[in-house]
Amino acid sequence: MKLISWNVAGFRACLKKGFANFFEEENADIVCLQEVKAEKDQYDFSPSGYYEYLFPAKRKGYSGTLIYTKIKPISVKYGIGEVEYDQEGRNITLEFNNFYLVNCYVPNVKRNLERMDSRMRYEECFKEYIMKLEKDKPVIICGDFNVAHTEMDIKNAKQNIGNAGFTDEEREKFSELLDSGLIDTFRYYNKEKTDAYTWWSYRKGVREKNIGWRIDYFLVSKRFIHQITNTMIYKEVLGSDHCPIGIEIK
């Protein structure tokens, strides 16, 4: 089984940049998208053989998550039960026989860190939500976490300490989430790998020089890690300032 996650930075724009070709070529069983920025009637994409679950933000043209899955889930839940974040369409949970899948778009603290307090509340609420699911069956979480966890996950670590996405607070919360019983699948199988990024600034030449950040992840319950047979970063795939990532499961 193949799962893919991608912050498309606007689904309508990404569709114009080759999304459908990538979707068809990869033929994944489940595809999770973040920052969709669209209502259902605003895009024309209904792939045959997939169930579709969209959670748009109430604010037009903002945030939102979307999942395409070949496998019909047992249940679907939109949000994590917190109005501030649920009205931004940040989380969709699908329940399958052997695991829960959570599509996640973590709030950005913004350049001047003005949303740090809200981000910290989200982190606590999200961890509590995941721990409740984890008591029932293993969890797979994917999406844009808006944080580079370690210095290996960012090109210019020293210059970025304290900047949005690389503050002590954000990195510590990510560590706490992992310590609660989850594993970063890519890092588990690529312990020393550097220069593996999933986001690049739109500034000219930055992506070509691979001056990037790894802020998109697949996390899984510790008891599920040996079900993961492969991890992928599709760094050559354009269409967004993020690239897609993926995992394969037994």
Q: Which neighbouring-strand residues pair with 146?
A: none
Active-site residue among 50, 53, 68, 144?
Answer: 144
What is the rounded distance in angstroms from the CA atom of residue 222 to the CA atom of residue 226? Answer: 8
Q: Is 86 a residue of the active site?
A: no
Instruction: Name the residue type at position 106.
Output: V
Closest CA to 71 of 55, 56, 52: 52
- What tokens were used for 47? 């792939």
Q: Is 105 a residue of the active site?
A: yes
- Per DSSP bridges, beta strands 100-105 and 139-144 are parallel
Active-site residue among 43, 53, 100, 105?
Answer: 105
Structural contact between residues 228 and 247, judged by C-beta atoms closer than 8 angstroms: yes
What is the rounded distance in angstroms from the CA atom of residue 33 to the CA atom of residue 175? Answer: 24
Task: Please give the backbone phi and psi of residue 230, each rounded to the nearest 5 degrees, phi first.
Answer: -160, 150
Residue with tokens 């019983």: 181
Enzyme catalytic residues: 105, 144
